[in-house]
Amino acid sequence: MTTWGGRFSSDNPGTEARAFTSSFRLDQRFYRESIAGSIAHASMLGHTNIITGDESESLMAGLRKIRSELDSDGFPNDYSHEDIYAFIEDKLHKLVGPVAGKLHTARSRNDQVATDFRLYVKGGIARLASEINQMRTVLLTVADREVQTVFPGMTHLQVAQPILLPHLLLAYEQMLKRDLQLANHAYLTADVSPLGSGALAGVPYPIDSEISAKLLGFSQVSRNSLDAVSDRDFVTQFLFAATMTSIHLSKFAEEIIIWNSQPYSLVSIHDSYATGSSIMPQKKNPDVAELTRAKTGTMIGIMSGFLSVLKGLPLAYNLDLQEDKEAVFRTEDTLLPAIKTFSGMLSTLTINHEQARKVAESGFSTATDLADALVQTGMTFRKAHETVGEIVHHLESKNESLDSLSADTLASFAPGVNYETIRLDTKSSIDSRRSYSGTAQVNVTLQIEEAKSHLAENRQLWGKRSPNLDL
């Protein structure tokens, strides 16, 4: 069935073309949003007396029955319909008769699909936020458990300064928090009802767009009908929020892969989140982390592909926009399982504490602390930096570490400095970093509590945003 056959010389135009342009298989995924949008529209038509109250009730009852049947039985193996709308309208005709033809009064498929897909994307954003918050919960749980764990802070993949492991975990928690800000912006962009815009120019009926918008849970109604039917900014913003989340996951996955490697051996991945080799029996591979890293390439491809679709489209609706469904669905199917599985891997990660401390103490990691100590004697930081560099070069040439720094050696490079005041152990280094964003335990403990508070508030916010599709 098509919804536009009258203009054409055949009721079955272009079998190949119809198969190519059909979106029915994709559309099935948001049938509940589609039916909710139609119920809201039928209700509005009745309230504004565009159709009678009885006709409105008949349409809504039929739509609810279709929804109930699809909920329980799913879709038949029938792909003769060009899209979900033709399928539902066909079923509605069979249930309620000719009055089904009145459902499309004051509505185009253009504003219909824009409305229904906004509903779906709002739900998709809420699902993404839920998974992000679950991962934040795992991060904070591990941070609490490892609140005193010394860990190497690195730059250029070289040991740089000792930090607390929770400080590193909280860095990723901050990234996820920003991802939620992007998701929130995408949600607000999607939270605008285009219903009532018609094909592009509005409709000549005395509709009340606020009625259908309120029923569907939209906070606003679109102000421009041309923009309303062609806008897919809400899709691109969702894709961007999801892609940034994936990029942050990829960064974290890379770290875990490095930590898990034998040269570092800072962590051990649980057997349930690793795989083996078909030829090397000793191998235990971090495949969950590696595949999470790889999925980010897919995510970037989806987003850039859809942006390319949009870049040259004239107003108003073009069938190119049908590609938004696959972009969103593939994004969800790629990212949500990745977050969930990654969170499971993280929650079961074993930290090798002694090795982490050993690595954190290597590579002259407290050299900056020695420079800071020299500054306290009145030396400029530039001079202190140079002096400590010379000390490191001297010790390195003798295959020694800062632990072996003697009073005589210090005096030969920095005469008059009291050796007894120098503290170069990792605990002293970490405790000294008390600046607002620093790694000192007093800071980290406070940062964990602040993150927990924000997490609770954010869960509450998104808990209110689950779309109500049971009209």
| Rounded CA separation 272/17 (Å) | 47
| Rounded CA separation 144/142 (Å) | 5
Domain boundaries, the chain: 5-105, 110-359+447-463, 367-424
> Which residues make Cβ contacts (< 8 Å) with residue 23, sequence separation at least 6?
82, 83, 84, 322, 325
For 174-204, how does the pLDDT look when each residue is reduced to its tens digit (9 = 90+)? 999 999 999 999 999 999 999 999 999 999 9
Looking up tokens 């720094």, which residue turns up? 405
Return the bridge partners of 73, or none: none
Q: Domain 5-105 falls in which CATH fold?
A: Fumarase C; Chain B, domain 1 (1.10.275)
pLDDT reading at 8 higher than 70? no
H-type helices in 146-280, by residue range? 165-190, 209-216, 225-230, 233-260
Before 228, cis peptide (omega within 30)?
A: no
Do residues 361 and 402 make contact, with C-beta atoms less than 8 angstroms apart? no
Do residues 127 and 435 make contact, with C-beta atoms less than 8 angstroms apart? no
pLDDT tier, 310 (very low <50, low <70, confident <90, very high otherwise): very high
Lowest mean pLDDT among 12-21, 99-108, 186-195, 289-298: 12-21
| DSSP assignment string, 216-232 | HT-SEE-S-HHHHHH--
For 48-102, how does the pLDDT look when each residue is reduced to its tens digit (9 = 90+)? 999 999 999 999 999 999 999 999 999 988 667 888 999 999 999 999 999 999 9
For 209-224, how does the pLDDT look when each residue is reduced to its tens digit (9 = 90+)? 999 999 999 999 999 9
Do residues 288 and 363 make contact, with C-beta atoms less than 8 angstroms apart? no
Backbone angles phi, psi at 448, to 5 degrees: -65, -45
For 390-424, how does the pLDDT look when each residue is reduced to its tens digit (9 = 90+)? 999 999 999 999 989 999 999 999 998 998 989 99
The CATH number of 110-359+447-463 is: 1.20.200.10
pLDDT tier, 5 (very low <50, low <70, confident <90, very high otherwise): low
| DSSP assignment string, 62-127 | HHHHHHHHHHHH---S---SSSHHHHHHHHHHHHHGGGGGGTTTT--HHHHHHHHHHHHHHHHHHH
What integer pLDDT is reported at residue 7 of this predicted model? 58
pLDDT tier, 152 (very low <50, low <70, confident <90, very high otherwise): very high
What integer pLDDT is reported at residue 22 of this predicted model? 77
Percent of the chain, pLDDT > 70?
96
Distance (Å) of CA 445 to CA 148, 353, 425, 453: 10, 19, 21, 13
Percent of the chain, pLDDT > 90?
88
Active site amino acids: 156, 277
pLDDT tier, 272 (very low <50, low <70, confident <90, very high otherwise): very high
pLDDT reading at 309 higher than 70? yes
What integer pLDDT is reported at residue 283 of this predicted model? 87
Same CATH topology for 110-359+447-463 and 367-424? no
Q: Look up residue 379 and give its two tokens.
A: 């030396």
What integer pLDDT is reported at residue 16 of this predicted model? 72
For 239-248, how does the pLDDT look when each residue is reduced to its tens digit (9 = 90+)? 999 999 999 9
User: Average pLDDT over the chain, rounded to whole?
Assistant: 94
CATH value of 367-424 in 2.60.120.560, 2.40.30.10, 3.40.50.1390, 1.10.40.30: 1.10.40.30
pTM of the predicted structure, to 2 decimals: 0.93
